[in-house]
A and B are shown apart, each in its own frame.
Chain A
């Protein structure tokens, strides 16, 4: 059992949990993920680390309430526990002094981008960050991102806050404006695809983090497989970060939809249970 030491809502649908996990906190590095199983009937859900504190023995998870499992997670309170927590999994981000790096975080993807931006800055890079969300209510950690960035650009799709538009627009402007050594983009798959398409003509290496559907997270099942540069890769052990220019995005989109029907069924069931409880 892994105790939730604090839980807050970053937005009405995005939860931030600080969980007691000293062994994982000691080993965690930017870009890695954990798998949680909330309770005895729970599924195994991969979540990229949003933060960790080796001294305090805690890790921070950020999740958006999209399906039954993330809603269940959102229903937990400070003092509750998560039944299983395993990690740190996957390969850490490549952190070295590249020069100028642009870190793009879309929606809930802002959370995993944060420690990567921080590590890149600590390694001596100039970090320009772009964070974006559909609207003001889905945006969070602007302050935290500002602290780890030399420059921060904030966008909302609908213009309800800061600059109106998609993250790819300021990304293109920066690429036209100055020499960029590397781009890290984490967010919805469609955003990562278009960030990769944006950087391609500029020939700037672009790293994306693919949070595929997983079961074990250790290379055992192959559920998270994708095609990168024509080769089958497992997101859990070969990733989660890959060269965005080499990823076959159609397979990523298709494989994300495998359980759409079942996910809806589970969510409806969850909502029904909640109604009966209240």
Chain B
């Protein structure tokens, strides 16, 4: 008997096509263009469909990754969509902004050969196909209504995921959103060129199509408290209010005109469309020389927005070195390709203003790295006498965010930490307050879209169990 030849494993990961860096640095169109059909087929065919399926465990919402990839390979897109969306209500978002390199792709069997399957790119391909073929969408079959009502506060990734799952369990869900657009950080934070707003809108519309009611312009804690919602007839409440409060540096000059929190800078640009001023009414100061302080994804987003708004030079000012930067490698690379200048081991001492109260420069220290600190990263130390001045006219502070205290401060019986986060069970999202769950950044502090979605999903399961037991 002839032995079956062992299939040769293809280690050529199909690259993602991108807009040319020079062109894209001045426009708001999406940077990553997405796979073509042929590219997707080729990449999907590389998956060896290993029986261990480590990728599924690497995904915070446990998408059945090998199954959807197999469907792509078999050219059964309707099935690929079904598999993907049965676990993930926002796949077009995740396919774009998830850090797959530290999740599903990191544990892919082919990662040992430095060629993990490009799961994120395939996810995006499937989700985009779905958005373009809504007529072929198999309608989600919803169970008969349970008669239970749940209020979800916040329409970001955690809230939308929780709402979608609860609706699929048959509960009546109302989502309350403070802003005039649903989507939370997906709308106000992540820029158009990385996550087109029409994609987010389509995902929100999908959640609505499951019967979820979305109430905009509703600042909970002000318009109604959590207890008032419970009294008004909701059986359970999920808090997905995120981490929306900006941190500042607390250095001289921080209140000068031209100093923005990244939240303000990105909200003006993305949510309010200041890049289209005066067609849109919201203005933003167009800096010629912009310094963005911080090394995370939000810093990269701010820097790349500054460039697109028309800056001549944009600096990323970060107090540690390149290795310690928390931003996704891909985003750092994108920013660098577009011409962002990285000033590593640099920390601001003060921001200097002109006589009219506008930023004109920033004085910085050079830093060096010492022993690792609690975060495991080497601690930055000021080099004495190293002060130098950078001429800048806009400064964006992207140091991270903390949860908004609006809900916690108006809700009796909710436990919060010193950092302002709401205490909730890691597995179920249950808070110490009766009938109240929480998940996402409001519990963890600023983290990723997908981890918030995972929390929303686990909370939905726990709420469902509670409601069905009750």
Question: Which residues on A are within 8 Å of B, measured CB to CB?
Answer: 23-24, 27, 37, 41-44, 68-69, 83-89, 215-223, 225-227, 232, 237, 250-251, 253-255, 257-259, 262-263, 265-266, 269
Q: What is the interface of chain B mostly: helix, strand, loop, or mixed?
A: loop
Judge if B7 is at the interface, Cβ distance under 8 Å.
no
1/0 contact trace for B274-299 toward A, CB 8 Å?
00011111110100000000000000
CB contact between B281 and one of A41, A227, A254 (< 8 Å): that residue: A41
Interface segment out of the listed B260-268, B336-344, B423-431? B260-268
Chain A residue nearest in CB terms to B215: A23
Judge if B112 is at the interface, Cβ distance under 8 Å.
no
1/0 contact trace for B187-225 toward A, CB 8 Å?
010000000000000000000000000001111001110
A218 and B283 CA atoms in complex are apart in Å by: 19
B264 & A86 in contact (Cβ 8 Å cutoff): no
CB contact between B180 and one of A86, A232, A262 (< 8 Å): that residue: A86
Question: Which residues on B are within 8 Å of A, measured CB to CB?
Answer: 178-180, 188, 216-219, 222-224, 244-246, 248, 250, 254-258, 260-261, 263-264, 267-268, 272-273, 277-283, 285, 356-357, 404-406
A84 → chain B closest CB, angstroms: 4
A225 → chain B closest CB, angstroms: 6
B281 & A216 in contact (Cβ 8 Å cutoff): no
A84 and B216 CA atoms in complex are apart in Å by: 8
B277 & A218 in contact (Cβ 8 Å cutoff): no
Given contacts A219-B244, A222-B261, contact A85 B217 (CB under 8 A): yes
A218 & B178 in contact (Cβ 8 Å cutoff): yes
List chain B residues, Cβ under 8 A from A87.
219, 222-223
CB contact between B283 and one of A85, A225, A266 (< 8 Å): that residue: A266
List chain A residues, Cβ under 8 A from B219.
86-87, 89, 217-218
A222 & B248 in contact (Cβ 8 Å cutoff): yes
Q: What is the interface of chain A mostly: helix, strand, loop, or mixed?
A: mixed
A90 and B305 CA atoms in complex are apart in Å by: 30
Chain A residue nearest in CB terms to B277: A262
A222 & B263 in contact (Cβ 8 Å cutoff): yes
The listed residue with most A CB atoms (<10 A of its CB), out of B222, B250, B268, B280, is B222
B279 & A41 in contact (Cβ 8 Å cutoff): yes
CB contact between B245 and one of A88, A220, A262 (< 8 Å): that residue: A220
B222 & A88 in contact (Cβ 8 Å cutoff): yes
List chain A residues, Cβ under 8 A from B222.
27, 87-89
B250 → chain A closest CB, angstroms: 8
List chain A residues, Cβ under 8 A from B188.
216, 220
Given contacts A86-B219, A218-B244, A269-B278, contact A237 B406 (CB under 8 A): yes
A86 and B181 CA atoms in complex are apart in Å by: 12
8 contacts between A and B (CB under 8 A): A27-B224, A37-B180, A41-B280, A215-B264, A222-B260, A225-B255, A263-B283, A266-B283
Q: Which 6 A-B pairs have the closest CB atoms?
A: A254-B357, A262-B283, A221-B264, A43-B281, A84-B180, A86-B217
A86 and B221 CA atoms in complex are apart in Å by: 13
A255 & B218 in contact (Cβ 8 Å cutoff): no
List chain B residues, Cβ under 8 A from A262.
277-278, 283
